[in-house]
Structure 1
Amino acid sequence: MESCKYCQKDDPDKPLWVQCSLCPQWVHVSCVPLEHLQDQDGNKIKEYPQSPKEINYFQCDGHDGDSKLTKKLNKRRRGKRSPSADLPSPPKKRYGLRKKQQIDYIALNEGDDKKLKKVHPHAEAFLKCFTKWENNSNVIDSTKLNEKFFQLREPLKILDPENTGMNLPKPQELGLTNQQRSLTVADITQILGGETPVDVMDVQSQQNEKWSLSQWNQYFSETPMDQRDRIRNVISLEVSHFDDKFHIDRPKAVEENDLVNIVWKHMGIEDPKPKVTRYVLMSSGNSYTDFHLDFAGTSVYYNLVSGHKKFILFPPTDHNLKVYTDWCQDLNQNLIFLGDLLDEGVAMELHAGDLFMLPSGWIHAVYTPRDSLIVGGNFLTVRDIETQLQVVKVERLTKVPKRFTFPMFDLVMGQTCEWALSPGVQNNHYKMTKGALIALQNYMKLQDTKYKPFNYPSKRSMIKKLEDLIGLED
């Protein structure tokens, strides 16, 4: 879990959190310096908000100007009805009480056996499960990836990643060395800057700490594996905003089928896209990431630059999603190895240079036998609308915190509706199935789904047009 930027803790005695309106940073409301509190008119105040409804705006100190937390004014006068009383409720804000599943793996390691600090409790069960489901046949070439993308719904390793369009910065091209070699964590630290903040996960406790990239580099590059205090993992360093320094070309099949790319271009939107497309992942040897679904059922491209990875994956069948949902809500979740309860597994091994394509909705866990560096990213697709919306339903049932969900998801789905209703779309390569249109319609009908259409007077009128289109599909 992420720690507060001010106190560097995930303190359960401070339940009210707020997210910066300009970046993913979360903090305890009561840790914001008192001198940075103000009301909506800009006047200094001395009382902290006591609930999410009292918070109007928060900006952390990582941006131009001082940090500030703005508290809503209560302007309702006694005996008079508020003019806004008859208006619909505003969209839910990004901040509020954090709901989380406490997972304490350290509790499993109590005792005198210090060796367990270097081995995750589920590692043995993972390797046994890997042997059961090991798969060496899910391999295709780049031509089939590009031509058959809509039909490919299993985890796949690409035989010729150099022909997919995937391209990473080369150290020699960046002036970091004269040698022909792969990127290293030290290179990335030099390119992005040692002061760049990173979320570092303690694998045993599944808790996050905020480090600088230079601190991480010292741990990862300069400390031998047997001398590290604990197993640590960086899995959420999104780098798309460093494009001028660190440009990553995604595979052609990803660029062409990314739903956000499609609707942003069609709608002529100039606003920034969701920042989920380019991640750097850095895993210490013996790292383990427990079973999870990528947010909103996104597909993933995964390029192993160096190291060694093992994946166990299970398809999003009704049985597997039901078992996964129950497991997420089980208070003894940390004691259960989910792989023993799921069906139809696929286990695949990755080595340096491999490009892996992980399709929508597959439940997976990852083990890292030795230090690894990965570049990858997430993307939504037209192909997987139904699965993606099914995963979002699971996220809501299991109360996944907002900051761990796909950013601007309602906006993307609303724009997808408008794109699907545009003339000619249902006759082209990206035609949506009737099932996808119905799933999209049902999602947009939800009261919690907030969207203001570009080309329709209201969300209701847009949904009516979608119903008409579904009728035509019949």
Structure 2
Amino acid sequence: MRRTHDYHRYCKSCVLEKPSRTITFKPPARKSTRKRAQPDYVNLNAGVEADPSRWLRVIQSKPIKDDEFRRMNGSDVGLEWLENDENAMKEPIVIENPEGLGMKMPDTNFTVSDVADIVGHETPVEVIDVATQSNTPGWTLGKWTEYYNKEPSTRDKVRNVISLEISGTLLADRVLPPRLVRELDWVDKFWPSTRRGKGQAYPKVQLYCLMGVASAWTDWHVDFAGSSVYYHILRGCKAGIPVFYFIRPTPANLAAYERWSGTELQSSIWLGDMVDEVVKVTLYPGNTMIIPTGWIHAVHTPVDSLVFGGNFLHSYNVATQLKVIEIEKTTRVPKKFRFPYFTKLCWYVADKYFRDIKAKEEFSPRVLESLVALCSYLVSEVRAMERGSEAAKRDAKEHVPTDRIKDAPALARELRWRVRLAAGTTSDDEGNERPLKKALTNGNGSASVNGGVKRKRSPIEMQGPETETSLGRVQFRNFQPKGWDVVEDLPKEEETATVQAVYPEEVVGLQQRWVKWDDETSGEDGGRQALVERKREITVRARKIDGGLERQRIERVFEKWEWSRVSDEESVEKGDVEMKLEDDVPPRQTDIEPHIDNQKDEEAAKESQEGATDGMELVG
């Protein structure tokens, strides 16, 4: 029923009384027939600004540094470089000549028309209207080719294609990522090859064809899941010269990006004003660039360009990859525009590393550090399975590849234990996976738990020393590290030695000199005579392993150093030395007494010793 103010309404009797009275409906409100642009989340996630020329004008007035990134030969970009250079894959690199990269690209005369001919003119493609930040529906590669081949002055709008993934097409046979990318890429290394066939679901992010026209601008963004990126600027006809702007992924800069991304700040504030610095890199036809994990970047395309590139995750900076995942969740990036099957891929990675580490394969500290972060993420997934809501449990379980992994909780926790053992850490407490918080204290000055609320101790916490393992007390479920078959404490050893050493005048000197003291050093010039009492405790433990025996010898040495009160002018000779002590204090016994007959003799001996010497407490 229409509202009463939409028409002139009369009752039936009034109409019968005067037929000229008619019910007249109000005409409907005018509605625009113009198509409204729908938001395009690909570009919103990437931060494409509605007015690209606006930011180009802003750049002219901003401090932009020229890059100092490395220019490398293609043959030098390999695993050996990554393992031996601590800065490898931490900053973008530019390879000016593709020779030696182990990469395959189309011929130098390859064009956008060739892309359409090979992939198919009727292939749907997402075309971005840069001015409205919207996806324009109804475009095919054939239609895009017609637009792209027009003279720039005759194009109706500035458009962009940034998401044409060509895996599984004939064009993919002509494109091969750089050798290093293939050697690092988690999808290539860990996703089962039998599950990467045509029609199967797997992360297809390795092969992108990007086609931009003059004046296109892609605003600040981080590639999904912090994935690293390779870009190759194709040579030949209509190859462009893109300009990249970079922001280093420091914690402060990533925090600024998180505040800026997806908010009203994105349309009104230049992100460069919120960070420490912006660096510019200009690429030329034939150049290849590799952008490492988490780097924030924007792209300006001064002329029409044709670029091939792709995304890849790797094992050399997992912590930053996971940090970007957190930012995506915080800024509510739709799942459709995140790295596809990310958690499932992490499980495949964990399964392979678990088998490798169990087989005694060694990994660099950098990889082990990344695996610690990966284990933390997967253990958090396990907690969701065990303690989360029903929806969270269901979601976490759906991400586990059951074709390879039958017991995800056990795998995550045992891998974490093995990685910590390989990395030389010793904690098995799941609480260590959480960010450290400032400890609260109770009235007695000791740390309180749960904000001062008393909690029950778990059965595992109440167990005694018999639950000790090689890494301490086990505090997680579903996995019990193998215990030691034999643990034996050898008899304690005690010895006394007299050495010549410089008396530490200050605490700073103590830290610098004595922490690095060499036990074999017999003396130092200008030093005093010091008595060193040393106690040594040795524990040996052993257990059977596959194909042999594992044995550990743990030695703890406790030392106490005491200096005599001699003047600096007195010389000290080696061997037995008779020392002149201040205030006529009886000389100190240099040998430890074998026994003291009674309590009085013991007290007297202590008083004599305390009056004659200074200890490591620096009472000198």
Is 1:335 the equivalent of 2:268?
Answer: yes
The partner residue of 2:283 within 350, 355, 364 is: 350
For 2:179 and 2:172, locate their aligned partners in 1 and report how far apart those are by CA, in whole Å. Answer: 21
Which amino acid is 1:286 matched to?
Answer: S
For 1:269 and 1:279, locate their aligned partners in 2 and report how far apart those are by CA, in whole Å. Answer: 21
Q: How does 1:430-449 map to 2 (within 5 A)?
A: 433-444=367-378, 445-446=380-381, 447=384, 449=396
For 2:91 and 2:183, locate their aligned partners in 1 and report how far apart those are by CA, in whole Å. Answer: 19
User: Which residue of structure 2 aligns with residue 4 of structure 1?
Assistant: none
Is 1:462 the equivalent of 2:389?
Answer: no
User: Which residue of structure 2 aligns with residue 318 of structure 1?
Assistant: 251
User: Which residue of structure 2 aligns with residue 391 of structure 1?
Assistant: 324
For 1:290 and 1:325, locate their aligned partners in 2 and report how far apart those are by CA, in whole Å. Answer: 14
Aligned-residue RMSD, C-alpha: 2.9
Q: How does 1:345-384 map to 2 (within 5 A)?
A: 345-384=278-317
For 1:137 and 1:245, locate their aligned partners in 2 and report how far apart those are by CA, in whole Å. Answer: 30
User: Which residue of structure 1 aligns with residue 226 of structure 2?
Assistant: 297
Partners of 2:46 and 2:221 within 8 A in 1? no
Which amino acid is 2:97 matched to?
Answer: D
Is 1:139 the equivalent of 2:71?
Answer: yes
Q: How does 1:205-354 map to 2 (within 5 A)?
A: 205-210=132-137, 211-221=139-149, 223-243=150-170, 246-264=173-191, 269=195, 272=200, 273-305=202-234, 306-354=239-287
Describe the superposition over 1:393-449 as per-residue Cα deviations: whole angstroms up to 9, x where unpaired: 111111111111111111100111111211347734577644322321221223354
Unpaired stretches in structure 2, ≥5 consecutive residues: 1-33, 385-391, 426-620
For 2:196 and 2:242, locate their aligned partners in 1 and report how far apart those are by CA, in whole Å. Answer: 38
Same amino acid, percent of matched pairs: 32
Structure 1 residues 184 and 242 mapped into 2: Cα distance closer, same or farther (>3 Å)? same
For 2:46 and 2:219, locate their aligned partners in 1 and report how far apart those are by CA, in whole Å. Answer: 14
SS in 2 for 1:300: strand
For 2:49 and 2:218, locate their aligned partners in 1 and report how far apart those are by CA, in whole Å. Answer: 12
Partners of 2:315 and 2:367 within 8 A in 1? no
Is 1:167 the equivalent of 2:87?
Answer: no
Partners of 2:47 and 2:219 within 8 A in 1? no
For 2:312 and 2:46, locate their aligned partners in 1 and report how far apart those are by CA, in whole Å. Answer: 28
Which amino acid is 2:147 matched to?
Answer: Y
Structure 1 residues 353 and 159 mapped into 2: Cα distance closer, same or farther (>3 Å)? closer
Report how many aligned residue pairs link the two structures: 361
Q: How does 1:393-432 map to 2 (within 5 A)?
A: 393-424=326-357, 427-428=361-362
Describe the superposition over 1:35-54 as per-residue Cα deviations: whole angstroms up to 9, x where unpaired: xxxxxxxxxxxxxxxxxxxx
Partners of 1:452 and 1:458 within 8 A in 2? no
Length-normalised TM-score, structure 2: 0.54
SS in 2 for 1:282: strand
For 1:459 and 1:358, locate their aligned partners in 2 and report how far apart those are by CA, in whole Å. Answer: 33
SS in 2 for 1:422: helix
Partners of 1:310 and 1:347 within 8 A in 2? yes
Structure 1 residues 154 and 169 mapped into 2: Cα distance closer, same or farther (>3 Å)? same
For 1:334 and 1:270, locate their aligned partners in 2 and report how far apart those are by CA, in whole Å. Answer: 40
For 1:103 and 1:157, locate their aligned partners in 2 and report how far apart those are by CA, in whole Å. Answer: 24
How far apart are residue 102 of structure 1 and its match?
12
User: Which residue of structure 2 aligns with residue 177 of structure 1?
Assistant: none
For 2:122 and 2:348, locate their aligned partners in 1 and report how far apart those are by CA, in whole Å. Answer: 37
Structure 1 residues 314 and 215 mapped into 2: Cα distance closer, same or farther (>3 Å)? same
Length-normalised TM-score, structure 1: 0.70
Partners of 1:120 and 1:204 within 8 A in 2? no
SS in 1 for 2:344: helix
User: Which residue of structure 2 aligns with residue 176 of structure 1?
Assistant: none
User: Which residue of structure 2 aligns with residue 123 of structure 1?
Assistant: 56
Structure 1 residues 212 and 463 mapped into 2: Cα distance closer, same or farther (>3 Å)? same
For 2:273 and 2:333, locate their aligned partners in 1 and report how far apart those are by CA, in whole Å. Answer: 23
How far apart are residue 367 of structure 1 and its match?
0.3
Partners of 1:189 and 1:217 within 8 A in 2? yes
Describe the superposition over 1:4-28 as per-residue Cα deviations: whole angstroms up to 9, x where unpaired: xxx997658xxxxxxxxxxxxx9xx
Partners of 2:92 and 2:289 within 8 A in 1? yes
How far apart are residue 153 of structure 1 and its match?
1.3
Partners of 2:119 and 2:171 within 8 A in 1? no
Structure 1 residues 187 and 357 mapped into 2: Cα distance closer, same or farther (>3 Å)? same
Which amino acid is 1:215 matched to?
Answer: K
Which amino acid is 1:157 matched to?
Answer: V
Structure 1 residues 143 and 218 mapped into 2: Cα distance closer, same or farther (>3 Å)? same
SS in 2 for 1:351: coil
Structure 1 residues 329 and 242 mapped into 2: Cα distance closer, same or farther (>3 Å)? closer
SS in 2 for 1:322: helix
Partners of 1:420 and 1:426 within 8 A in 2? no
Which amino acid is 2:410 matched to?
Answer: S
Structure 1 residues 260 and 104 mapped into 2: Cα distance closer, same or farther (>3 Å)? closer
SS in 2 for 1:281: strand
Describe the superposition over 1:63-122 as per-residue Cα deviations: whole angstroms up to 9, x where unpaired: xxxxxxxxxxxxxxxxxxxxxxxxxxxxxxxxxx99x7898955x6xxxxxxxxxx5211
Partners of 1:104 and 1:334 within 8 A in 2? no
SS in 2 for 1:167: coil
Structure 1 residues 387 and 285 mapped into 2: Cα distance closer, same or farther (>3 Å)? same
Partners of 1:155 and 1:359 within 8 A in 2? yes
For 2:92 and 2:46, locate their aligned partners in 1 and report how far apart those are by CA, in whole Å. Answer: 30
User: Which residue of structure 2 aligns with residue 201 of structure 1?
Assistant: 128
Which amino acid is 2:258 matched to?
Answer: T
Which amino acid is 1:219 matched to?
Answer: Y
Partners of 2:46 and 2:220 within 8 A in 1? no
How far apart are residue 141 of structure 1 and its match?
1.2
Structure 1 residues 374 and 244 mapped into 2: Cα distance closer, same or farther (>3 Å)? closer
Unpaired stretches in structure 1, ≥5 consecutive residues: 1-6, 13-25, 27-96, 109-118, 171-180
For 1:439 and 1:463, locate their aligned partners in 2 and report how far apart those are by CA, in whole Å. Answer: 12
How far apart are residue 372 of structure 1 and its match?
0.6
For 2:172 and 2:229, locate their aligned partners in 1 and report how far apart those are by CA, in whole Å. Answer: 23
Larger radius of gyration: 2
How far apart are residue 327 of structure 1 and its match?
0.3
User: Which residue of structure 2 aligns with residue 17 of structure 1?
Assistant: none
For 1:235 and 1:397, locate their aligned partners in 2 and report how far apart those are by CA, in whole Å. Answer: 24
Structure 1 residues 101 and 283 mapped into 2: Cα distance closer, same or farther (>3 Å)? closer
For 2:48 and 2:173, locate their aligned partners in 1 and report how far apart those are by CA, in whole Å. Answer: 36
Structure 1 residues 337 and 274 mapped into 2: Cα distance closer, same or farther (>3 Å)? same
The partner residue of 1:190 within 117, 136, 144 is: 117
